[in-house]
């Protein structure tokens, strides 16, 4: 699987964080995928390769 150099996985259960970071990252030509917890992040990682993962370390279900 090729890594998309513009793809970022943003993992955080707080929507205020993802709502603020996503537009900033997209303005710098990144494509942002949001996961609300570690379990959703693992599914995203299984489906796509990311150049960067920004990960909250304290989340419900499965944390970083």
Q: CB of 13 within 8 A of CB of 61?
A: no
pTM given for the model: 0.86
Name the pLDDT band for 62 (thresholds 50, 70, 90). Answer: low
Which CATH homologous superfamily contains domain 4-55?
A: Response regulator (3.40.50.2300)
Q: Which two tokens stand for residue 7?
A: 């793809």
How do the domains of the chain map onto residue ranges?
Answer: 4-55
**Strands 4-11 and 50-55, bridge-based pairing:** parallel
Q: What is the pLDDT of residues 7-53, one digit of tens each?
A: 999 999 999 999 999 999 999 999 999 999 999 999 999 999 999 99
In 1-64, which ranges are continuous DSSP H helix?
Answer: 15-27, 38-47
Say how far apart CA 12 and CA 5 lie, in whole Å: 21
pLDDT of residue 5: 82
Residue 3 has pLDDT above 70, yes or no: no
């Amino acid at each position: 699987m090729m890594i998309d150099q513009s793809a970022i996985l943003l993992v955080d259960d707080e929507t205020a964080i993802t709502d603020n970071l996503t537009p900033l990252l997209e303005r710098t030509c990144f494509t942002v995928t949001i996961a609300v917890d570690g379990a959703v992040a693992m599914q995203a990682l299984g489906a796509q390769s990311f150049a960067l993962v920004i990960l909250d370390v304290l989340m419900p279900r499965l944390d970083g």
